[in-house]
Structure 1
């Protein structure tokens, strides 16, 4: 919950605007300001104070405890000109909240955290536990000082600036990426990848202290960090076993369960008759750890309580890292139509793959050190193969396309190449059809279809069959790739097919470079449109028999009944 506090009438007005924009996310604190701040600080995850920064600092000072637990605080000035990240930029989420507040209120975000200001990933913002001289190593990265990166394996992290290198003996400032316990020097930090799976078996009512103690001893004896444990795993018959559930809770990791049939199918070095009789599989701990693959680091071991039989077993497996491929739609071209999620994925990537002209659109959003692999028109399949190959190396890859990456863009060839050995994330974007429709009015108000007229990848016979089906079904049609120098007959042919089922007065919208600086649009009719005025940068939308022009806008009703007028007739 986000607490909102104000002191003046102007502040209350802005406060109420934010409350209206975020229903269910915020709580307004009334009454004396000092008491309101104290209550919100104790009860909320974050605060937005419509107060002067100096006053807010004085009110907060007696309340501060630790940056890992204090809520994030954002200040907004009386004139709603600036949203300032005041406290808890990373740990409290104030930096991200500042951007949200600025978007909601139309003001300028002010973030002074050094890493965010220069687009360098903070070590505490990578989604991994971090230990050691975090501030010292982070400062060295910011200052451009050589920093050695020592990784046991490549994990999909954001790009670091060029001064962070895996070259040998580059510096005494070192950032490790490992699940192993290390003795760190004064200028060393370690990121803990979530690489370890602990398989656990337990007798009924095994004490949580026994289960947890066994796991901690096994990790310590193997020289492994508990911070790298990704999950505990067991048989589904033990899903509610208090000792196992409690151990997972104390370690702060999820508990994953498998059926006895799934575990029985896993080959293990130390099968046993006891679990076979009890839960139907010859192994619980080893099989549960190994079911997802990986290297068995610690074979099955038993707890060793004094004076009675062991009630718990565990085994530890190291799973290999999985690369990450984000297929990102950039929208039709305008920066304000690039979604926040797409921006986040671009900043998360260490490798960017894309068409050169699309890369140029978003190059300024990339973090320093991002590897950019760009190519020209006609290399779609090559880009898809490259992106998947980079993800398989363990990188965080962003493969970009215009509009929505899944619509006539890069998602299809990329997913045709990708197997289940990498993680794939789809990031939707505003399509050219939607951008053009918004300019034209509401032409897609009823059933509609997009058809590409390019026969480079699809035989014309197939395209023609689809156009004819849309014509007979009275569906609004948006044509992509309508006409080029080498393909000048397909659009007239397609329009002719539609004309067999629609009147010459049927509205047609023509939009070129939708949302870009040289955008142009016009509304014409099926009988008047000159195909020679259309090119590859154009989207052509042909209405159905109910579509009409109203006040210069192209409108398709949600139903087929008009209050007056003749369907399909331009007004």
Structure 2
């Protein structure tokens, strides 16, 4: 999924240039707080924010010195095939330098910006400099079948070799002629090698239909057979298309994944508008789903108004398949995507504790849904995005809304603190999906969205890291909120955890109206573990107002705990180590006993 670049403005002098660049790229401007007056979002630390965007896979255009961007992303450099483009632009807009990802979009971004600013584009990748082309970056709508051979092929040209074209030329530049390297552009299968690069123009839309729960292998074998019979390469397929009722069919999703192309969906009404172009209209299909053809209709709809059926519908026991061809490569995809809901935990609040995967999912999302404070904690990563804030207590409405927005084909992120699966919205999302519509669940369309869950650093983990290693042995978590859990159940779990001598993390320890359960928990625990058992109170973890302190179990007072506090109660074996920087809490695993036992054994 392509992500729009972010333009960084670090100074007053570069601010006008940043806004010009953003206009050229259709991008947002993120500005340095206190130094830039106008921006879509503001950040405090340039290095941290650049690093955060890079880790999230967001293309970066920094209006600043190149060295700032280099220092920011250097610790993260690992795989040039997956890293996003990074481009530097001089404050006055005179020079544009693609620093990273030249063949992954940086050179293209630099060219667009340089042309718009009448600037110099300082491209340094060898092929672009010497030949004005990158063989591994074909134009949009073309796919290179054997990219692993591109580096060697470029070396042939740079060493004075020449090119022979087969079929069409699509780079738009004059390359030296010769028989050293063949560039084959074909819709058919072609075998590439070290001296032959095969490019496929993606002119075909693959329409699919199937019975509910069809075997993915049956569908894949059907598609392979149809493409082979028509002499159409897999790389020439631009998209897989179907009716929106099939958005969650594993067989159709699997084909799109194996081909590495988008899945595009159409309503029954949209497919019915293609009825006059169908080769095999079916009244049976119309009675079942409201259109006279799924596979043929979807292929035609996805190929556009000038598309024509090149392979009529074929069937297996449970699948249907058709292929339509457009005159030009299909770049702007008709239809809509399958909706996606990313259920993400952003950690306790500190950006450094947010995982790169969560940052990436947030960056890709069109809409952010969550408790307003949690979205605010995303800082500039949420800047300029559509957001829907919900109050505390509106959890079910929040999750239902997020699912229904995704059902419209949108990419939605449901933002939670900590880890979304620990006392957060993850379980409620699946509970709503598990309910029937008549059980106050969600719509049928919402059941067909893709749900992605990404782990976050929980408050429990954040507190444990600040303490030292209190979770070194068996532990459990207990929520003291009786809003959703009967009080008797909470007390029963407290007694079991106390008797089991677990380290315990209390979530939701108190509220404005609930003040007694924590004291009751303390008294229950004192029946099973020493009075001097260490207790850690960690408030506002990862935020400027963070406050960590230790108490004895028998001295734990309810009044110094609030809803932003995680309470960690040690086991009977937990203790504090007095270090130079203060006490650190840990729970021994038992290694000392094992060492003593090993030493006691006879040689």
TM-score w.r.t. length of structure 1? 0.51
| 2:475 maps to 1:459 | no
Summarize deviations over 1:61-114 as a string: whole Å, max 9, x none.
Answer: xxxxxxxxxxxxxxxxxxx9x99x9xxx969xx999986424479xxx994367
Quote how far apart the aligned CAs of 1:457 are.
1.3
| 2:353 maps to 1:344 | no
Please give the alpha-carbon distance, in whole angstroms, between the structure 2 residues aligned to 1:134 and 1:450. 51
Aligned 8 A contact 1:403 1:431 in 2: yes
Please give the alpha-carbon distance, in whole angstroms, between the structure 2 residues aligned to 1:191 and 1:461. 62
| 2:332 maps to 1:359 | no
Show the 5 A alignment for 1:311-350.
Answer: 314-315=322-323, 321-350=337-366
| 2:236 maps to 1:251 | yes
Q: Which residue of 2 aligns with 1:112?
A: 87
Show the 5 A alignment for 1:386-401.
Answer: 386-401=401-416
| 2:432 maps to 1:417 | yes
Show the 5 A alignment for 1:154-553.
Answer: 226=202, 229=205, 235=219, 243=228, 247-251=232-236, 301=311, 314-315=322-323, 321-368=337-384, 370-418=385-433, 419-551=446-578, 552-553=583-584
Aligned 8 A contact 2:206 2:322 in 1: no
In structure 1, the gaps of 5 or more residues are 1-79, 115-124, 144-189, 193-210, 215-224, 260-267, 272-285, 304-312, 566-571
Please give the alpha-carbon distance, in whole angstroms, between the structure 1 residues aligned to 2:369 and 2:74. 32
Quote how far apart the aligned CAs of 1:422 are.
0.7
Please give the alpha-carbon distance, in whole angstroms, between the structure 2 residues aligned to 1:466 and 1:460. 10
Quote how far apart the aligned CAs of 1:413 are.
2.1
Summarize deviations over 1:197-217 as a string: whole Å, max 9, x none.
Answer: xxxxxxxxxxxxxx9669xxx
Q: Which residue of 1 aligns with 2:42?
A: none
Please give the alpha-carbon distance, in whole angstroms, between the structure 1 residues aligned to 2:299 and 2:504. 48
Summarize deviations over 1:416-446 as a string: whole Å, max 9, x none.
Answer: 3344311111122111111111111110111
Quote how far apart the aligned CAs of 1:447 are.
1.6
Please give the alpha-carbon distance, in whole angstroms, between the structure 1 residues aligned to 2:203 and 2:311. 20
Please give the alpha-carbon distance, in whole angstroms, between the structure 2 residues aligned to 1:345 and 1:351. 11
Quote how far apart the aligned CAs of 1:330 are.
1.2
Please give the alpha-carbon distance, in whole angstroms, between the structure 2 residues aligned to 1:133 and 1:436. 43
Aligned 8 A contact 1:546 1:560 in 2: no
Summarize deviations over 1:486-544 as a string: whole Å, max 9, x none.
Answer: 11110011122222221212221111111211111122222222222211111111112
**Secondary structure at 2:531's aligned position in 1?**
coil
Please give the alpha-carbon distance, in whole angstroms, between the structure 1 residues aligned to 2:250 and 2:362. 34
**Secondary structure at 1:391's aligned position in 2?**
helix
Aligned 8 A contact 1:511 1:539 in 2: yes
**Secondary structure at 1:484's aligned position in 2?**
coil
- CA, structure 1 residues 465+323, in 2 after alignment: closer, same or farther (shift >3 Å)? same
In structure 2, the gaps of 5 or more residues are 1-46, 61-65, 79-83, 90-100, 119-138, 142-185, 190-200, 209-215, 241-248, 253-277, 282-291, 314-320, 326-333, 434-445, 597-603
Please give the alpha-carbon distance, in whole angstroms, between the structure 1 residues aligned to 2:567 and 2:459. 10
Aligned 8 A contact 1:231 1:248 in 2: no
Task: Provide the aligned C-alpha RMSD in A.
Answer: 5.4
Aligned 8 A contact 2:347 2:459 in 1: yes
Aligned 8 A contact 1:327 1:424 in 2: yes
| 2:74 maps to 1:101 | yes
Please give the alpha-carbon distance, in whole angstroms, between the structure 2 residues aligned to 1:489 and 1:546. 27
Please give the alpha-carbon distance, in whole angstroms, between the structure 2 residues aligned to 1:237 and 1:375. 46
TM-score w.r.t. length of structure 2? 0.49
Please give the alpha-carbon distance, in whole angstroms, between the structure 2 residues aligned to 1:415 and 1:314. 35
**Secondary structure at 2:505's aligned position in 1?**
strand
> Number of paired residues?
363
